[in-house]
Each structure stands twice: as C-alpha cells, then as structure tokens.
Amino acid sequence: MTDARNMEEYLALFPYTSAAARYVEASTKTFESLLAVGEFPKRVLNRSVERVTRAITGNISTSSIERDDYEIEIFSYVMARVLVSCISETLLIQRYANAEAQDAFDNLRHTAEPSQDEYLKSLLDDFRMPASMENNAFQLHFTDFVRYTGRLRGPQWRLVNLLNRGRVTLAKGEMIQILAEVVRLKVLGGLPLKLSGKMCEELSPYTSPLKEAFSQVSLHSIDSGPVVLEACPPCIKALLSQVKAGRNLSHPARFALTSFLANIGMKADEIVRIYQTSPDFDYELTRYQVEHIRGASGKDYIPPGCSTMETYGNCVESEVLCQRVTHPLSYYRVRIKRREGAQPNPRE
Amino acid sequence: MNAKTKAFLESKFREYYHNAVIGLPPRFQKREWAFVLFDSAYPRLVMRRHKAFSSQNEFQTYLTAVSPAHVYYSTACYAYPSATRMQDKKWEGADLIFDLDADKLLSDSVPSYARMLQSVKNETDKLLDFLMNDFGFDYTDFSIVFSGGRGYHVHLREGRLVTLGSHERREVVNYLTGTGLEPEYLRRTTFTPMPTDNSCWEIRIKTWIDMYFKRVRDLDTEKAITELSAFKAIGKRRAKEIVDVMSEDSTIQPLLQTRLMPLAAWKSLIREAISQIKVSIDVPVTADTKRLIRLPTSLHGASGFRVTPLTLDEFRRFEPLHDAVVFTDRSISVKILKPAIAELKGETIKVHQGTTELPEHTAVYLMARGLAEYESRRLESDQK
C-alpha cells in the first residue's frame, strides 16, 4: 500500500485479512475494553449490530454511522463475529459470511483504478494466492481456481473450458468474484467462536433483537410442507421419468433421487412405490436401501450437489434457475418459496 | 480356496516379503494402514484397518510376521491415523490419485488379459500427457504404479494439491473426461479468430479436427465423399463441395470461411474429438479424499504380481506380465479347477481341468485367481 491513509482504508474495507488481524493484535484496545462503557465501544457495537442486521434482512447497508472511522470498521467486524457466535444459528452464520462477501465484491467493484489494482494485489497476497496480473487479466494456478469456484455456475467457471498449462486466465471482474468467495470462506472460518456464556450474557441486549429478527425471516422451512413434485429441479424430474419409463438407474442416480426425495420429506413407502416400475425391482432390497439412505430422520444423507450430478452425467440443466443454484435442494426451495409467494395465505 | 493352497500362497508371500525391499510412501507415519490376510475367511476380503506404524522397522516386522495377501495405505494423512472412527483421525490432506482400470475401458468383448492391460496402459499414457501438458506438472511430480491387477495408479503429492477437497478433485476429473465441454460453447470460441488464450482442450480439439481433415484429404475423392456424408447433416452433394474446397488448401481455413460445413456437422465432429481425446478414469477414486490404495512394492493377493512403482521411462518400457512377475519357474504341481489361459513371462499356457505341473509363477497366479488348488507335496522336500 502506498500511503498510510490507503492502508487504513484497505483494512477497514477488508477487515478479515491477516493484515487486519495483525492490526487488531497490535492495537492497545483489548477485547474487554470493547465491552466497557464509552463512546468508542458504543459505536463499535452499533456498527457490528448493523453488520449482522444487514445479513439478516439482505439489505445493502445504508449506514447511519460515519464509515470513515477506520478503526470502528475493523473492530466492528471482530465484534460482529462475536455476535453471530452468541446467536449460534448455522444459517445466520452462513448468511453473515455471504453478506461480508457481497460487501467485498461491491467494494472492489466500486473502487477506482489505481487503488482497485492495489487492493486486488494486496488481497491476493494476503490470501496467499500467487497470481500474475497483466493488462487487466489475471493468471491463477488451477488449484486456487478450483478451490473457490465450486459454487459458481456456468461454463466460464469450469476448469475444462479454461485450463492452459496449469493456469487459468481471468478477467478482472471474474477475479473479483473469486476473491469474494475467498472472503466468504475466510469469514466462515472459525465460526462460531467458542465463547464464554458470561460474555454472551453481557451482549444479550444486542443479540436478542437480532435473534428475534432472524427467526422472523427464517420461518420458511421446506421440510415441514407437503411434497411438491412439480417443484423438483429438471434433473430429479428426468430421473423420475426414467424410473416411470421402466429404465434402470445407475447407482449414483438412484442415490441422488432417493436422498433428494427423502430430504424434501417423502416417506419411505412412497419412495419405494416410485421404484416399483423398475425392471429389476426387488421389494425387500429397495425397501432396505431406501430406509438406509433415508435414515431415521429422512436426512441422514444429503443429496449430491449440482457439480456431482454433472460429473455422473445426471445434470440436465435446462432451466435458468439452474444457473443460479448449486444444489438441487436449493432449486426446490426457491420454487416452493415462489409458489408460497404466489398463493394468498389463507390465514391472512 | 482350500487351506493347503492358502498356506502355500502365504509361504510364498512370506518368502517375498522376507527378501524384498519395501518402499514406504512419504509421511507413512501419518497414514492409516490396512491388511487382508490369508486367514480362514480368505478369499473373502476381511480388512484389518486403522493400523499405524511409527518406523520402517516396525512396519517390516509386521509385514514379515503376517505376510498379507493385500496391503493398503490411506491416500490421506491424519493426525491420528489409528483412530477407529474417521472423524477422530483429523484429516490433514491427501495425495491426488488416479485409478485406471480395465473394467472401465472394455465392456462388450472379452479380450485377453494381455490386450486388456495394453489398452489400460495406453489410457494411462493419455493421462500422463494431460498431467504434463495441460496441468503443467513435471514428471517428477507424480509416481506411476502398476496395480498388480487390471491397471495403473498415478499418485501426485505436490503441495498445492494435497489440501484439495473432494469437490475440487472432481473438477480435475471432469477436465480429464471432458465433462462440461459443450460443442456449442467450443465452436464459438475455438473457431473464431482468437488471440492467445485458448484452453488446452480447445487446442487438442482443434488439432484433432485438423488431423481429421488431413486424413480425409488424403483419401481419394469417392472415399472422402463417403466419409463426409456419414455425417447426418451432410448430403452427397455438400460432401463433394467440401472435398473440392479442401483440395485447394492444406488448412481448414476455407471450411471455416465458406460455412460449407453445417453447424450440426461441426458439433458432431467436436463431440467425436472429445470422445477420442478424453481419458477413461475411475471418478470416485480420484474424488475420494480418504481412499485406501495398494502399497507399491507389495504383492497383489489376487494375482501374485508385484505392485510395481515405475518411473516415466520404466513405464514406457513396462511389460506387466513379464516385469511384475516375482516368482520362479521351477515346477509346481496344481489341480486346475477351470480351463484358463495364462500369459506370464512371454509364455502362453493353456490349462484344463485336472492335475498338472506348472512354473511356480503361473501356478501362484492361477491359485491366487481361484482357478487352481495346490497339489504338490514337494514343498517340504524342496526345503531340504
């Protein structure tokens, strides 16, 4: 970083970097002092509540707090991690990481050029991703590329379309997208923190309203509702129609179908009935296999994601929604939500 | 397999392990080890798992004491390799493994074992080319191993690879099998004037198509027309036009400029290229980050062959049915259970039901495969 001001701004924008962690460590401000009474701790806490709130509501922050206080940005990240750890909801933690990643993405995109390139270089360095940069194109080793592109859909993210002598070439926008994924994983790393009950107790005036807000938005759960076969993704529908047509499924396909149906709440009997048209149908065997895959809870096995489906040739990706999800279950969730949104709620 | 046969095989394996120099993989102390013994259950595979060794000596002592039928170690390194529950082992990384197996390559016909092995070897050669050319590895980055059975294993231990998760490894497999390559996507990028950033797959496909047309150009006109009109999208007349245009130029440029080749024909040509170029490889093995794999320099209990580590040069010259044979050719008496053919050490031996004398290596091979039982009482007299 060329000057101190830039450096501070960098740390404030990217508080999950090891550089920021070193800054916090070297600072005279102890963790205890952040919980004490005072103007600085108060502003840090408010800003950290805002960070978590944004993750819950999905709204990009329109901050009421002065964002130019770099230290508050840095320490509020530390404190936000504490807050989500006290709330300790897996889904919230994931959403929080997504929100920080989204912020990183926006910040990188909206920073003007000389600083933008400097930030990119510093981040790649900080994340230990050796990449060469030339004419707005980046060369990344394939191992770093595959590590962070698993959740991205579309041919432009597949190694098979890009690899050249151990490296892939990426446009700047693509590099930023990958860095956002690195950020997501960085933020996720170590969460939830192991904290004392006493500390969470002290923070409960802040965490309770957050918890409340989160439970409001997370009420929607697909698992309790009825099974809606029309909401299944095209890959699952294709497998279903193959079974119906009396064709035998390969082992991975059978596993995918069974675990998917079990996860959306189908009972073992109903699943067995689906396989009845299979030419090699064996009631006892099928029943045993279905029950094993289903498990006691119906969720002992999570069905394979889009990339696994693709590897085994079971992905048919025929719809736009497929581009936006990385897991057949997410597809189903989106469809179910849309249906619910479209239908008037009888209780209201 | 009767008790006498098991005892004989075990004694032969013990003899081997007593004299052989057994190579251990790097960081062997961090790996889980597993063994199948010539016990009462054998040839049913009952695996003794979750073993760990802290020194080469300890390992060697164990090996000669139990003289196992099969020896495996984990491709993963663990903090606690001997923990009996996987989640307690604490995974620290795993070698990247490729398994090339005849099972996956040949389905319809039943070719001889030797031919089968040759075709797996060709496939392995393809894989090595991909690893060096497309992935940019040096030949010192991988070790090649004849599995002692139906194929080859390739191990990579480069630092950046070992921490890759299952999903990332699948992306590597998808690359090798050409999964996700779409003719439509490729046609747009490969055959338009492009700067320099073509992927290695594009270059491979382009080269293949160049070669294809070169071959067609070398045919006489009638044959060339027949070849081209085999494409659904190309009729006789169109085929003749293409042949005429091609005869004027030694590159495929005119074809690209004239749009003589219909889109559908390009696509099926690309599809054909992909299926010829790709490597047939066992997907789950590579994607698995906690796999057990055979120890190089051990013996394969179902063939008696040595699991043979090979350098690239050795691999090129390697004749499995000759070079992986460790037993002698002194005569052993066996009872053949099923007619079979064995092709060891350059000698093809056909056997029929009944008692017969065979060279030791062939006798071990047939017994290990469950095609023969031990008959000779000569073992004791030999030892005098």
> Which SS3 state, helix, strand or coil, does residue B42 take?
coil
Write out the two tokens for A281. 């149908």
Spatial strand order in the sheet of B96-101? B96-101, B151-156, B142-146, B308-310
Active site residue B329: no
Please indicate whether residue B308 or residue A339 has the higher confidence score (pLDDT). B308
Residue B89 — pLDDT band, cuts 50, 70, 90?
very high
Of B136, B185, B198, the CB nearest to A166: B136
The sign of the dihedral angle between the CA atoms of A275, A281, A283, A285 is: negative
> What is the pTM for the complete model shown?
0.79
For B165, the closest chain A residue by CA position comes to A147
Taking the CA of residue B283 and the nearest CA in chain A, the distance in Å comes to 8
Cα dihedral B21/B25/B31/B32 (nearest 10): -50
**In chain A, what are the helix, strand and coil shares in percent, each to the nearest 5?**
65, 5, 30
Block residue for tokens 């809606």? A228
User: For position A91, what pLDDT does the model report?
Assistant: 81
Average pLDDT over residues B13-32: 95
Record: contact B179-A308, CB cut-off 8 A: no
Find the radius of gyration of the CA atoms of chain A: 24
Distance from CA of A309 to the nearest CA of B (A): 11
**Contact criterion met (CB < 8 Å) for A142 and B199:** no
pLDDT, tens only, A20-59: 999 999 988 887 788 888 888 899 999 999 999 988 876 6
Q: What is the chain B residue with the closest CA to A128?
A: B160
DSSP category for residue B338: S
Residue A268 exposure: Cα atoms within 13 Å on the Cβ side: 18
Chain A nearest-CA distance from B124, in A, is 19
pLDDT at B141 over 70: yes
Query: Does position B248 have pLDDT exceeding 60, yes or no?
Result: yes
Under an 8 A CB cutoff, do B170 and A166 touch?
Answer: no
**B136 closest CB neighbour out of A144, A165, A312:** A165
Token pair listed for B144: 């090649």
d(CA A144, CA A188) in angstroms, rounded, equals 18
ipTM of the complex: 0.87
Closest CA of chain B from A307, distance in Å: 8
Q: Which residues of B touch A162 (CB under 8 A)?
A: 199
pLDDT of residue B190: 55
Burial bucket for residue A192 (CB in 10 Å: 0-12, 13-18, 19+): middle
What's the average model confidence in pLDDT over B327-337?
94
Q: What is the pLDDT of residues B40-69, one digit of tens each?
A: 999 888 999 999 999 999 999 999 999 999
Q: Using CB atoms, which residue from A164, A310, A312 is nearest to B180?
A: A310
> Rounded to an integer, what distance in angstroms lies between the CA atom of residue A172 and that of residue A136?
6
Lowest mean pLDDT among A39-48, A300-309, B370-379: B370-379
Between residues B188 and B198, which one has the greater pLDDT? B198
From the list B160, B180, B198, the residue facing A158 with the nearest CB is B180
Residues of A in contact with B137 (CB under 8 A): 166
Residue B293 clears pLDDT 50, i.e. is over it: yes
Specify the pLDDT at position A274: 85
Bigger pLDDT: A346 or B27? B27
Confidence (pLDDT) at A223: 53
- With beta carbons less than 8 A apart as the criterion, state whether B245 and B254 touch: yes
Q: What is the pLDDT of residue A249?
A: 85
Q: pLDDT for B201-245, tens place per residue?
A: 988 988 898 899 989 988 999 999 999 998 888 888 999 988 888
Partners of residue A159 in chain B, C-beta under 8 Å = 171-172, 174-175
Task: Check: CB of residue B307 under 8 Å from CB of residue B141.
Answer: no
Which pLDDT value is given to residue A343? 54
